[in-house]
Amino acid sequence: MTITPQDRTFFTTFGYLSLPGLLADEMGWITAAFMQAMDDERRCHDLLKRSSARACLERSEILCRILDLPQIDAVMSVLLGADWNYYSSDGNLYSGDTGWHSDSDWQHGVCIKVPLYFDEIDAGSGALRVIPGSHRRGPGAWTAAEASNSQMLLGIPGTAVPCVVPPCRPGDFVAIDTNIMHASFGGGPSRRMLALQFWSPFASEDQYAELDRHMNNWTASGAPIHSELLHRSAPPGRRRHLLQVGARHAAHPRYGKLAWMDELIPGSAFTHQPRSRIEPEKP
């Protein structure tokens, strides 16, 4: 498996990269561990709406090993650079349609979502749809609002908005820029998906400010981002991809600093942070 500079150009141009079958040999153990993690959540899934378990990978030592796969390193190293960051995950049971939306509006860093699907789905039964190029921001860019208002603005239903449906059966791999507009239609009541998120390396204040905003969105749910298990079980190859987010996590006012962070995240006491950019908590 070789990920090429052309793959990177494709990703930056269109906002997604599809590598069918990239994880085909791994899906046995990943599926078993995913199902276990969702069972452990012990939440009763309401078949009429999405159930989501934040920090899903972070609860399972086995799922954490996804980050150690050479396939993941190969793709992220080309798309984000050798010092790519792992951010977070969520495990999901989707129900029905997901309307057109983008997850973010980042302008300074690149955030990638890798949704792993565990069911045989296609365009009519819940497969991911993306609008190529819609991750771009700036004058003339499409906005999520326009895609989700397609009936009113364009006279067509969401299902008819021109898009690409990358293969996303079990074992297929797709990486999307989280700014891209995406959707799915026709899914059943328990469509299974594990989403992983990655960030480009952080160097500037503007990039850290985006990371802080992302963390603030997460903290609204009260869920942690990184876990002790994720860090403690990390071989050195994984650890380097946890440090920037881990250190920021440790410095975030909502989380406070936990004892394991001092031990496992060198520099977690660091002050490389425009603290003023961390939004104050709402009372």
Ligand X SMILES: O=C(O)CCC(=O)C(=O)O
Contact positions toward ligand X, by CB under 6 A? 94, 98, 103, 115, 128, 182, 184, 193
Identify the H or E element spanning 35.
Answer: helix 27-41
User: Cβ 176 to ligand X, closest distance in Å?
Assistant: 7
- Tokens of residue 37, six digits: 């993690």
* Strand bridging mode 111-117 / 173-177: antiparallel
Question: Quick one: 14 or 208, whose CB is closer to ligand X?
Answer: 14
Comparing CB distances to ligand X, the nearer of 109 and 187 is: 187
Secondary structure of residue 73 in the 3-state scheme: helix
Amino acid at 253: P
Using the minimum distance from each CB to ligand X, give the nearer residue, 166 or 246.
Answer: 166
Q: Which is nearer to ligand X, 16 or 84 (CB)?
A: 16
Residues 116, 23 contacting (CB under 8 angstroms): yes
Distance between CA atoms of residues 44 and 90, nearest Å? 17
Is residue 164 classed as helix, strand or coil in its secondary structure? Answer: strand
- The full length of the chain comes to 283
Alpha-carbon span 187 to 128, nearest angstrom = 10
CB of 91 to ligand X, least distance (A): 12
Which residue is nearest to ligand X, using beta carbons?
98
Q: Sign of torsion, CA 63 90 76 260?
A: negative
Q: What number of other Cβ atoms are within 10 A of residue 275's Cβ?
A: 10
**E strands along the chain, which residues?**
16-19, 51-54, 85-94, 98-101, 111-117, 129-130, 173-177, 182-184, 191-199
Q: Measured from the CB of residue 149, what is the shortest distance to ligand X in angstroms?
A: 18
Question: Could you give phi then psi for residue 17, rounded to 5 degrees?
Answer: -145, 130
Residue 141 Cβ, how far from ligand X at the closest point, in Å?
19
Which one, 112 or 247, has the nearer CB to ligand X?
112
CB of 238 to ligand X, least distance (A): 24
CB 112 to ligand X: min, Å = 12
Closer to ligand X by CB, 22 or 116: give it: 116
CB-nearer residue toward ligand X: 143 or 204? 143
Residue 174 CB, nearest approach to ligand X (Å): 10
